[in-house]
A = this chain, B = another copy of it.
Amino acid sequence: MTTISPQGRTELLRPDGSPVRVLVVDDELSITELLSMALRYEGWQIRSAGDGQGALQAAREFRPDAVVLDMMLPDMDGLAVLGRLRRELPDVPVLFLTAKDAVEDRIAGLTAGGDDYVTKPFSLEEVVARLRGLIRRSGAADRRSDSVLVVGDLTLDEDSHEVSRAGDSIHLTATEFELLRFLMRNPRRVLSKAQILDRVWSYDFGGQANVVELYISYLRRKIDAGREPMIHTRRGAGYLIKPAVS
């Protein structure tokens, strides 16, 4: 079932109306903290574990709808954890976290079952987007909930990556797309540059904070050009997006 939260965000809910449950497994505390916060912000219920044993126990007790699983755990091989997790939770989709270079060796193939993976360092927007995709497709949440974000006459399709305003198709680069997705998932809400940097760029991004200004500028040229503006600056606070006629 899909409802609109007070903030205007679309929430995934289970068929019985209760929040989606996600288990996060990583041995780095900073990562589980980071993910837990971001995912709670989605309105999901989060449990975390730091090793394979804890993951299996949590899986039994918590019965999550999806699992975020680091492939590098201290006590058990990631594949072994996955195998035993599968026995416990046969139909639950898994989002793997993996180092950039480890992909070919071990992940290839695993993602075929509808699972997915993200390489470290990741951006939170990406993790959230992929998790939403997995949960939506797994059927834990209502299948009718689709993958299109709409704000005013602006639409963004998370599957096809298509963006259009008032019927005109707009081409965005990968970064522009992620930024706009983040804005549109939080319409009418002021997002600070720090928040945007945290969510849209990788968590270890070390560059200048004004990339956000730069990309807002790019987006405006493509989305607001010659139209009633939808992207607004709140000086000293951040940016927000809202329907043009409000």
Q: Which A residues contact B (CB, under 8 angstroms)?
A: 5-7, 29-30, 33-34, 36-41, 46, 79, 82-83, 86, 90-91, 103-104, 107-115, 117, 124, 136-137, 143-144, 146, 159-162, 173-174, 177, 188-190, 194-195, 197-199, 203-206, 209, 234-237, 240, 242
Contacts and interface: CB of A to CB of B under 8 A. Distances in A.
Given A30-B79, A109-B34, A124-B112, A6 B136 contact: yes
Count of this chain's copies in the oligomeric assembly: 2
A123 to B, nearest CB: 9
B33 A83 contact: yes
B235 A173 contact: yes
A198 B29 CA distance: 31
Nearest to A159: B189
B159 A112 contact: no
A109 B197 CA distance: 8
A144 B109 contact: no
Given A6-B143, A143-B6, A234-B161, A103 B194 contact: yes
A83 B29 contact: yes
Given A112-B41, A160-B240, A36 B190 contact: no
Give the one of A82, A195, A198 with max B CB within 10 A: A198
A124 B110 CA distance: 11
Contact of A236 (B39, B112, B146, B173): B173
Nearest to A201: B108
Given A173-B236, A198-B109, A114 B83 contact: no
Nearest to A136: B6
A40 B114 contact: yes
B137 A6 contact: yes
Contacts of A146: 6
Given A174-B235, A189-B159, A86 B240 contact: no
A231 to B, nearest CB: 13
